[in-house]
Copies of this chain bind each other. A is one copy, B any other.
């Protein structure tokens, strides 16, 4: 039984005392219709970008409003609409720091959300839900030159997303993972899909060749052992001043299918991003993150921004703006 956090999202009420057969048929039809809707939106956006022409890679937002695999609070389920609002907010212009125009659909489109809450309300379990997320990512990748830029949701979503990217491209990717935590427990509180276990699942599945974790400052002995077991490169904050020159000059992805970037907003110090579930002081500054991204040499095939929790944000939505700028600069990185 899921433990519902105070400000969390309810697992909408379940379907009992009803012929299992009837329920299952209905669920299958709902799943199919959900995927059809995502396919049609992706298709329309793909047609649009191809008609405009000239883009080799363009990022396309896919929201995954899922918060129930968090071990603490479930607010990230509310994040995608808030990030979109902040992206287009009139307080800033629609240019990235290096000059790309975000309102050009060849740079950025949007295929909307996976209807996570409604699927759960229909009684669909996590095994099926993870598959639907993977399928949705593949539907975006189907529409060349769209590349998925996924808006979480808690960090559990990175597993089905990276899995889909790797499966679709036919091989592992390199993963640059910015986070306060390694999220690599074998299993957390009995939940193999926990947001604290997603990178264990990714590494087990062979979906990533290299995994670089940056910003780490809350790690247990299990976290360090799992890191060793999977050959993860863990860069802890207590040595960041030493590691900085290396991290601000990364070159990744050679010999594999490309690079995936997963940004947990709590990689930032809470001064820069208070709207997260896990306040862990001593993190990166926003400029540190941009320096790492701007100087990274890589073919970024997909990315995610996760764990923004609007229920912990400031009244004026500072962290929404932070998440939005991460999305904007990732867009700049992906599209070409």
Q: What residues make up the interface of A, taking CB atoms closer than 8 Å to B?
A: 3-10, 12-13, 15, 17-19, 22-23, 26-27, 29-30, 32-34, 36-37, 39-41, 43-44, 47-48, 51-52, 65, 71-73, 77-78, 81-82, 84-85, 87-93, 95, 97-99, 103, 105, 108, 110, 112-113, 115, 117-118, 121-122, 217-221, 224, 236-238, 240-241, 269-272, 274, 277-283, 285-287, 290-291, 294, 312, 314-318, 321-322, 325
Q: Which 8 A-B pairs have the closest CB atoms?
A: A26-B44, A10-B88, A112-B118, A33-B37, A279-B321, A281-B286, A271-B271, A29-B40
Q: How far is the CA of A279 from the CA of B92 in the complex (A)?
A: 8
Chain B residues, Cβ within 8 Å of A117: 81, 84, 112
Copies of this chain in its oligomeric complex: 6
| Whole-angstrom distance between the Cβ of A47 and the nearest chain B Cβ | 6
A279 adjacent to B91 (CB under 8 Å) = yes
A22 adjacent to B51 (CB under 8 Å) = yes
Known: A30-B40, A90-B4. A85 touches B9 (CB 8 A): yes
B115 adjacent to A10 (CB under 8 Å) = no
Q: Which of these, B81, B277, B285, B325, contacts A9 with CB under 8 Å?
A: B81
B41 adjacent to A279 (CB under 8 Å) = no
> Among A7, A77, A115, which residue has the most Cβ atoms of chain B within 10 A?
A7
B272 adjacent to A91 (CB under 8 Å) = no
B91 adjacent to A277 (CB under 8 Å) = yes
B221 adjacent to A95 (CB under 8 Å) = yes
Chain B residues, Cβ within 8 Å of A221: 95, 99
A44 adjacent to B72 (CB under 8 Å) = no
Known: A97-B238, A314-B274. A27 touches B13 (CB 8 A): no
B321 adjacent to A270 (CB under 8 Å) = yes
Known: A112-B118, A278-B92. A48 touches B15 (CB 8 A): yes
Q: Which of these, B47, B85, B290, B315, contacts A8 with CB under 8 Å?
A: B85
| Whole-angstrom distance between the Cβ of A127 and the nearest chain B Cβ | 19
Q: How far is the CA of A280 from the CA of B325 in the complex (A)?
A: 8
Chain B residues, Cβ within 8 Å of A8: 85
- Chain B residue nearest to A238 (CB atoms) is B97
Q: Which of these, B29, B51, B89, contacts A19 with CB under 8 Å?
A: B51
Chain B residues, Cβ within 8 Å of A238: 97-98, 290-291, 294
Known: A30-B37, A97-B236. A281 touches B90 (CB 8 A): no
A115 adjacent to B37 (CB under 8 Å) = yes
Chain B residues, Cβ within 8 Å of A27: 44
Chain B residues, Cβ within 8 Å of A322: 270, 281
Q: How far is the CA of A314 from the CA of B240 in the complex (A)?
A: 27
6 further interface pairs, Cβ-Cβ under 8 Å (given A7-B317, A97-B217): A18-B48, A78-B81, A91-B279, A92-B218, A93-B218, A282-B287
A-B contact pairs, 10 of them (CB 8 A): A6-B6, A33-B37, A37-B115, A72-B90, A91-B278, A95-B218, A97-B218, A97-B237, A99-B221, A315-B315
